Amino acid sequence: MSNFFSKAEVTSSGRPVLLHNEVECHLLSAVDLEPEDHRHFSLLKSGLLILTTHRLIWLPSSSASTPTSASAIPLAAISHIFSSKKSLKSVFHSPRIRFQVLVSSDGRVFDPSSGSGSSSGSGSRSVVVTAVIRGKGDCDGFLVKFWDSWRARAWETTKISSSGSGSASGSGAATGIGGGLYSSDGSVRMVGVAGILRKEQEMWESTDKSLQDAFQDLNALMSKAKEMVMLAEKMRQKLLSGTSSQTSGTNDEDMGSKEEMQDWLLSVGIISPVTKESAGALYHQQLSRQLADFVRIPLERAGGMINLIDAYCLFNRARGTELISPDDMLQACSLWEKFDVPVMLRKFDSGVMVIQNKSHSDEEVFARIKSLVTKPEALRTGISPTDAAMTLGIAPAMAKEHLLTAESKGLLCRDISPDGFRFYINLFPEIDPCNMYLVKVPWKLLF
């Protein structure tokens, strides 16, 4: 006779294999399961009846004479549970739990997980199954839990149950609280703090792995880069050897390709070794002219003289991308003396470097300073770099350079005091040391 019930999977040690999220709720031992129509289907005698959130599982006891496999009834297939009738007859009989089960076309328990149509579809007929409890279990309690599980319809929830209320509320809670860290398929469940920690751990591990993969690529790239650098070195050597052996007249083609190579090397950041020998690489020449053009307007705005560092910043900002290095800047400026450009680089004694117009004349500046410093107020109190800056229309730092230059030429002398750094017209030459009280200069008017 075939089995009325669905087959239940069992582990090698006889434990039922639970479904995802399935939790055991109650057990009864020595239970017979009798389908109504036991002409065609065998009884299941004296087994362990396990109520879970999803099914009724019947396991044969080891002492069963007939080796029957484990069976199960999905709670989803149950259409009705009968309440227990307390009658006189039931006092003498073993307690019974009766419920109605939907059957499929072959007369067996309808298995909603088999995927054959909807639960309400093919299971149109129902058959009553009686569970006879011959053991000493708590039948009423089991019935209550049976009701609860059936009503809770846990098989319909898909989300993973989180911690849930830990206490055994006795309702056979649908959200799995039992089962611990491991779920039915053996994978670790993300429950509680442990779950969060585990998730973090997994994230780190996957990041680590992807980093390792990335570095593999980087290593490959670096080995290629080494080859590139060696190639560039070889070319550099060729360039060097090329210029030293200039016995045969260099034809234009050679020079052209050499210059091309220089440019190419420069563009990848390698300084051409032949720059100093030639008029400068084409790159620097172009840069130099470009810079001369660019610096015209800032120079005008700055009154004819601009700090090299300021010019550098302005130039790079204007370029936007492909910024030049300070070295490039210096090279470009140094090349000006070879061209016919209206600007020049100048270094003051103090080390400050400025760009100024070629037409700029120191004499003219000194004349302006002199007229400033011989004004009545300035004769008495001198001038500060800021005063000079305002008169000359240039930055105070530039003005100070001019004042220092004028001082070195003997035009001015300095006065350092808590009031600051000031300059006076140089009157020392006017004083006769042999005749100190002779008043050549109208000192009286001044002091």
142, 26 Cβ separation under 8 angstroms: yes
Residue 396 sits at the vertex; the CA angle it makes with 305 and 390, to the nearest 5 degrees, is 90
Q: How far is the CB of 335 from another protein (least distance, A)?
A: 34
User: Cβ closer to another protein: 196 or 439?
Assistant: 439
CA distance 375 to 367: 13
**Residues at the site binding another protein, with contacts judged by CB under 8 A:** 382, 407-408, 410, 413-417, 422, 424, 426-429, 431, 433, 436-437, 439, 441, 443-444, 446-447
User: Cβ closer to another protein: 330 or 413?
Assistant: 413
**Tokens 């060729």 sit on residue:** 238
Q: Count CB atoms within 10 A of the CB of residue 423.
A: 25
User: Cβ closer to another protein: 79 or 426?
Assistant: 426
Q: How far is the CB of 434 from another protein (least distance, A)?
A: 8
Residue 102 is encoded by which pair of tokens?
A: 């939907």
Q: How far is the CB of 385 from another protein (least distance, A)?
A: 16
Contacts of 384 (CB under 8 A, 6+ apart): 420, 421, 422, 423
Q: How far is the CB of 304 from another protein (least distance, A)?
A: 25
User: Cβ closer to another protein: 93 or 414?
Assistant: 414
Q: How far is the CB of 387 from another protein (least distance, A)?
A: 15
User: Cβ closer to another protein: 260 or 415?
Assistant: 415
390, 404 Cβ separation under 8 angstroms: no
CA distances (Å), origin 428, targets 372, 381, 425, 436, 440: 18, 16, 9, 11, 11
Residue 314 is encoded by which pair of tokens?
A: 């302005």
User: Cβ closer to another protein: 320 or 433?
Assistant: 433
Q: How far is the CB of 380 from another protein (least distance, A)?
A: 9
Alpha-carbon torsion angle 53, 55, 60, 66, nearest 10: 170
